[in-house]
Chains A and B, each alone.
Chain A
Amino acid sequence: MGAPGVEAFETTPPGGNGHVGRSLRRKEDPRLITGRAHYVDDLTLPNTLYAAIVRSPEAHAKIVSIDTTVAREQPGIEAVFTAEDLGDEVAPTPMVWAPKGVDIFVPDHYPLAKGKVGYVGQAVAVVLGSDKYGVVDAAGLVEVEYDPLPVVVDPEAALEDGSPLVHDEYGTNKVFEWSLAGGDVEAAFADSDVVVEKRIVNHRTAGAAIEPRGVLADWREGKMTLWSATQIPHIVRVILSIQLGITEDKIRVVAPEVGGGFGSKLQVYGEEVLACWASRRLDRPVKWTATRSEEMLVTHHGRDQIDYVRLGAKKDGSVTAIHAKVIQDCGSYHLIEGPVIPTFTACVISGCYDFKAVQTDIVGVFTNKFTTDAIRGAGRPEATHLIELSMDALAEELGMDPLELRRKNFLKEFPNARPHGFLYDSGNYDGTLDGCLEMLDLEGFRREQAELRDRGVYRGVGFSTYVEICGLGPSRALGPDGWGMQGGYFESAQVRVHPTGSVTVYSGTSPHGQGLETAFAQIVADRLGVDPEIVDVIHGDTNTGPFGKNTYGSRSMSVGGEAIARAAEKVQDKAKRIVAHKLEAAPEDIELAEGRFQVRGSPDKGMTLAEVSGEAYIPGDLPEGMEAGLDEMCFYDPDNFVWPAGAHACVSEVDVETGRVDVVRYIAFDDCGRAINPRLIDGQIHGGIVHALGQAIYEQVVYDADGQLITGTFVDYALPSAADVPSFETGRIETPSPTNTLGVKGVGEAATIACSPAVVASVIDALKPLGVTDINMPLSPLRVWQAIQAAQGKGEGPARTEQGKEGGMS
């Protein structure tokens, strides 16, 4: 029996290895289920000042004056600061995507607005005081006079001549244009028998982690410590260093327990910089925690693409070319990487299919809304959505079964070079679709569907066969000379065996709910012949372990886990040399079995890891020239991305009287390469489905025409509850990735990338008898009802679906 924290659900013997592939219970959970975890808002320091931020109620305005006099006079208020106080001490947010040969407008975005505001919620002043409630009272007494300017919220309107300008100095609202193509697209379209065209709106959503953002900054003895609810402590440190002009040796960033991220905490926010600056200015700790309304206003949003798609095919269903023109609403200012997000749509524009030519043209647009940036999937859910719904439309046009169309065009040979320069590493797309259909029983469903329709019940099924690019990533491909990201995308690991044989692993990733403390321990346990219960995983603190690149893009296992595996292999190699020396055998004859390093063929001769580490740390008799200690590091930079794939099916029922959509079955059959801990994989899939199902049916960030955020709380932003979703059916095959030694791909975003087109297609299938052939998300009752009315010729169809024109309030 293992100690609490690591108990197997399966009955396979623990032994010295074989932990990988087992659904071990999480090491993380005891602190989380007993209320003993420490999220940032749980932390306090002596003499802490609380911060409350005064935010703009205007979407676009000149700041005429700010009067802080009354606020400053309130009891317990220590200071009130505006941009004037910041002066030149804080640099604007550096936006880290700078591709060669592409001009991108990057307006200066400061933690406190200088002279004008460009979105509702923009920080204008900060009030600091000793009482949590008192600072909020005082913030309400800061008087700001605004001179409103014209507002634009619709990205297509923003591109028209005569539109109000978000930033006058550029003379346009166009942020950038960027294209990626491969093959002769126009020739391929000319050679096509059928071309389908669609306009798809992929609306704005929120990450909506249940833990709001928060920071605690402590400047003391010339050093800064920042505790922040972030996915990227190491990156925050680099950027704080740039923005505050403090060298990195004097900055420590800690991501304590983090209550979900979903990309929304893959960011460096103004409040992080501001809290540090204020702590240094006042020489006291400064704490700020977002309210949910602040979270909805100024934690970056995701999606918000309008996609114009063309997809060509021959009469027999062979696809020829796909072209997507993507209009990306960037909001009024950038944070660290917003503009790059739609380019990830381009990476997977070929989907699972053998397109001979592909092209993606992206236009980024300024509007008077908050920044868009990475939210779970980040550009790839948008790709799957437009590809899969276009494939369905093509099948309809050809009179072909949509699954037959997919199978006909599936890539079957791997590795597979796509026309736009990417190399899919491995895959078995027929295998995942077979698995999905076996679980679904499509024939049975069609019979049930027909019977139900006779009784006036409208059920439909929709499919999504997807591929995603993840495991960010090869630095040479992503970095300054490639994609243009100003950074490396390796991951670091350190595996330290202690003198008595237990192990501490430092990972440069920064997990926040994924269960990687457990999964990483399984990987190391197998390589060192110990139980995972004595392998502790440390992460999320820049003062421990090497510089890392943190957690996003489904990279933690395929890059971070691989780095750990490689560091553990180095420890294993050294251990084998020590054992060989002690037992007078050749290092290549030492094998790890049954939890011991043994001489091959002589299992009676061997040493445990504890015995080896004893030798390493009491180095009386080590091999000639060997250093003491048993502690190895690895920086792993992958050669390629990894390419998970799968097939999802959604069965939904539509109440045609009210337009209400209920998902009644959902089947996810995925291939994320080798499974390290299957239970954790299923958990990622379940959560990923609901994230996208939320977008498909319930969730939408809505601004009105004046740029006011309508969905500023969970009353208005409809996060799905347990009562809104069914239980899920999951299945899996494992096609190992050849990119890394673990054979893993990544699963954190998979289901979110897969799900939304399956939901939409299921509703279209359900409403086919009523003539509905197309509908945009979110599938609110009003919108579905309108689509039915329009198809029946009873009235207007859905209004065009840009932000602000049709709300998610319905």
Chain B
Amino acid sequence: MARMVRVAVNVNGVERSADVEPRLLLVHFLRETLGLTGTHVGCDTSNCGACTVHLDGEAVKSCTVLTVQADGAEVKTIEGMGREGDLHPVQEAFWAEHGLQCGYCTPGMIMASADLLARNPDPTEADVREALAGNLCRCTGYHNIVKAVLAAAGEMRGASAQRTGEEVTA
């Protein structure tokens, strides 16, 4: 067997460690080693973005990151975004706007969208389309995905404004 390397990665707030082959892709560490199968593999060449996760707060394509590169880092996957009854606003918006059909690209789309909104809370439609150009969807024609991201942006800005307002009044 190949030489194994010890890695420790904080995944969705939980410290996980394992001995892995140096060549093990992060997406396979998440899916096969940790059983977090919400992150998908669609293309192997970083084109489709189905494997998008957050690595130290930034969206990356986990099919093109080695697990050893994530040693000591924080990773967030779709499983860490929200659960039914306590959804992240982007998840909620994808549901409300019919931003998904087969759902295979959806976790990556949601992670990429959340990344966009963290950097740009008030994107235009063109901003959203540009930001998601690395995430492919064959079902939706992107129309409702774009609507969902814009809706989530509005929702998050509203919540953020409300929080700021509360802080001011407090």
CA distance A568 to B17 in the complex (A): 53
Known: A75-B1, A259-B102, A727-B143. A35 touches B77 (CB 8 A): yes
- The reply to whether A258 and B28 form a contact with Cβ atoms under 8 Å apart is no
Known: A41-B41, A683-B98. A210 touches B84 (CB 8 A): no
Q: How many residues of B contact A (CB 8 A)?
A: 63
CA distance A513 to B100 in the complex (A): 8
- The reply to whether B45 and A26 form a contact with Cβ atoms under 8 Å apart is no
- The reply to whether A211 and B102 form a contact with Cβ atoms under 8 Å apart is yes
* B77 contact set on A, CB distance < 8 A: 35
Q: Does B137 contact A (CB under 8 A)?
A: yes
Interface hub of A34, A38, A41, A724 (most chain B Cβ within 10 A):
A34
- The reply to whether A679 and B98 form a contact with Cβ atoms under 8 Å apart is yes
- The reply to whether A722 and B38 form a contact with Cβ atoms under 8 Å apart is no
- Among listed A313-321, A438-446, A688-696, interface-contacting one: A688-696
CA distance A291 to B100 in the complex (A): 23
- The reply to whether A728 and B143 form a contact with Cβ atoms under 8 Å apart is yes
- The reply to whether B133 and A210 form a contact with Cβ atoms under 8 Å apart is no
User: Dominant SS at the A interface?
Assistant: loop
- Among listed A147-155, A607-615, A711-719, interface-contacting one: A711-719
A52-70 interface (Cβ within 8 A of B): none
- The reply to whether B38 and A36 form a contact with Cβ atoms under 8 Å apart is yes
* B100 contact set on A, CB distance < 8 A: 29, 32-33
- The reply to whether B45 and A713 form a contact with Cβ atoms under 8 Å apart is yes
* A262 contact set on B, CB distance < 8 A: 138
Write the nearest CB–CB distance from B106 to chain A, whole angstroms: 5
* A526 contact set on B, CB distance < 8 A: none
* B141 contact set on A, CB distance < 8 A: 685-691, 725, 728
Write the nearest CB–CB distance from A351 to chain B, whole angstroms: 24
CA distance A208 to B130 in the complex (A): 21
Q: Which of A259, A515, A715 interacts with B40 by CB under 8 Å?
A: A259
Q: Which of B32, B85, B103 interacts with A259 by CB under 8 Å?
A: B103
Write the nearest CB–CB distance from A231 to chain B, whole angstroms: 11
Q: Does B3 contact A (CB under 8 A)?
A: no
CA distance A323 to B42 in the complex (A): 42
Q: Does B10 contact A (CB under 8 A)?
A: no
Q: Which of A39, A210, A722 interacts with B145 by CB under 8 Å?
A: A722
Q: Does B125 contact A (CB under 8 A)?
A: yes
- The reply to whether A714 and B138 form a contact with Cβ atoms under 8 Å apart is no
Write the nearest CB–CB distance from A546 to chain B, whole angstroms: 25
What residue in chain B is nearest A751 (Cβ atoms)?
B141
- The reply to whether A30 and B36 form a contact with Cβ atoms under 8 Å apart is no
- The reply to whether A260 and B104 form a contact with Cβ atoms under 8 Å apart is yes
Known: A691-B138, A721-B133. A33 touches B103 (CB 8 A): yes
- The reply to whether A727 and B139 form a contact with Cβ atoms under 8 Å apart is no
Known: A42-B37, A727-B146. A719 touches B138 (CB 8 A): yes
- The reply to whether B136 and A210 form a contact with Cβ atoms under 8 Å apart is yes
CA distance A132 to B29 in the complex (A): 12
Q: Does A133 contact B (CB under 8 A)?
A: yes
CA distance A680 to B82 in the complex (A): 25
- The reply to whether B1 and A34 form a contact with Cβ atoms under 8 Å apart is no
Interface hub of B24, B40, B78, B87 (most chain A Cβ within 10 A):
B40
Considering the complex of A and B, which 3 residue pairs feature the smallest CB-CB distances, nearest first?
A35-B38, A259-B104, A513-B102
Show 25 residue pairs from A and B whose CB-CB distance is below 8 angstroms, ordered by the A residue. Answer: A29-B103, A32-B106, A33-B95, A34-B82, A35-B37, A36-B79, A39-B40, A41-B31, A75-B1, A133-B24, A209-B138, A210-B50, A257-B103, A259-B104, A260-B104, A260-B139, A292-B43, A688-B141, A690-B142, A714-B47, A719-B136, A721-B129, A721-B134, A721-B136, A728-B143
Query: What residues make up the interface of B, taking CB atoms closer than 8 Å to A?
Result: 1, 21, 23-24, 28, 31-32, 36-45, 47-48, 50, 77-79, 81-85, 87, 91, 94-96, 98, 100-107, 110, 125, 128-130, 132-147
